[in-house]
Amino acid sequence: MKSTLSYVGRFAAAIRSPFRHPRDQLDRLDYFSGLGDSAYLLYGLARALKPKTAVEIGSARGKSACFLGLALKENGSGKLYAIDPHAPTAWNDLESTDTIEDMRRNISALGLEQIVEIVRTTSGEAVRTWARPIDLLFIDGDHSFDGVKSDWDSFSPFVTEFGLVVFHDTMWDRSPDERYQRPDMGVPAFVESLRAEGYPVITLDKDHGVSVVQPKHGGVSLAPSLPNAAK
């Protein structure tokens, strides 16, 4: 009887708690992010892929880092390296410049300090000493064509065979928002160039466009080579 009452008491306390699960906090934190519900795509990919190493380029207040980090925490393994200078750049969102303390606060609220490593520098600086294989790469930093191309060229060679690269803002040209439209936005054109080169690209027409790319021309073969294929 005592153990039953103890269980009932713990259950009642959990119901009264404002957050019954860390996932309940994800949408309550202050991110000021255009990623929207597409953050759940990152969460789902991380839960399914079970990446040992994930990298994001562009963190701001940490929405993508929190969703990815919580997935890794629930996986019981893996680490996210969140690269962002947290300083004024040509591509900061409105009021998103020195966001390091906001990001730390959001990460701390979910208990992700040991899972998400903040790399406070530019992607160009970070790649100089990078040597780890990457299972999941999220690119959401410099949105100029040359900038996003540089991030792809720098980090995609480290992506594992079945690893994935995710880009944000890839539908900007097809679904423009006059409030934020810029002539130097280059993400859609760059991801389209990858598709034209033969990289598999899947795009969700949500939250300004989120595209998932497998960084191998033609994709990874799922069938073994046939013995007589070369004859």
Q: What is the CATH number of the domain that holds 96?
A: 3.40.50.150
At 20 the pLDDT is 54
- The confidence score (pLDDT) of residue 28 equals 73
Tell whether 73 is covered by a domain.
yes
Residue 165 belongs to some domain of the structure? yes
Please report the pLDDT score of residue 21 as a whole number. 63
Tell whether 98 is covered by a domain. yes
Residue 191 belongs to a domain: yes
Res 112: pLDDT: 95
pTM: 0.85
**Structural domain range at position 104:** 32-213
Within a domain: 222: no
The pLDDT value given to residue 13: 47
Backbone angles phi, psi at 91, to 5 degrees: -125, 20
Query: For position 96, what pLDDT does the model report?
Result: 58
Low-confidence ranges of the chain (pLDDT < 50): 1-5, 7-8, 10-19, 229-231
Residue 16 lies in a domain: no
pLDDT value, residue 225:
67
Whether 205 maps to a domain, the answer reads yes
Query: Total structural domains in the chain?
Result: 1
